[in-house]
Amino acid sequence: MLLDRKLVACVSILENAKSLYWWEGKIEEAVEYVLMIKTTKKKSKSAISVIKKEHPYEVPEAIILPIIDGLEDYLKWIGEVVNDKEEASSIR
């Protein structure tokens, strides 16, 4: 859905992540998928809105980690794919 709407350029899926977390006063354990979603800062709020609406969890994990540095062509590609030309050249 995020890719179809061009809110993100890439989603990497890491399977079988064991999560331990507090929920409703007790420690829970679950096997989950971790998604590494690549987008621009400008598109991140829209992507998070879709995740919140479509995810089965009441409070899905959606955090934003800044891109400190990276291959310039890759960073440019992210901006081009999500049609955010303004951030394509200065994604950090």
CA dihedral 83, 87, 90, 92 (to 10 degrees): -110
Range of the structural domain that residue 14 is part of: 10-88
Residue 48 is encoded by which pair of tokens?
């998070």
Average pLDDT for runs of 10 along the chain of length 92: 96 97 96 95 95 95 91 93 69 48
Q: What is the CATH number of the domain that holds 49?
A: 3.30.70.120
Nearest CA to 75 out of 85, 54, 89 is that of 89
User: Do residues 92 and 69 lie in contact, with contact meaning Cβ atoms separated by under 8 Å?
Assistant: yes
Query: What is the per-residue pLDDT for 92?
Result: 45
Radius of gyration of the chain (CA): 15
Q: How many domains does the chain have?
A: 1
In a domain, 4, yes or no: no
User: What does the pLDDT look like over 9-21, one tens digit per residue?
Assistant: 999 999 999 999 9
CA dihedral 13, 14, 15, 20 (to 10 degrees): -120
Query: What is the per-residue pLDDT for 70?
Result: 92
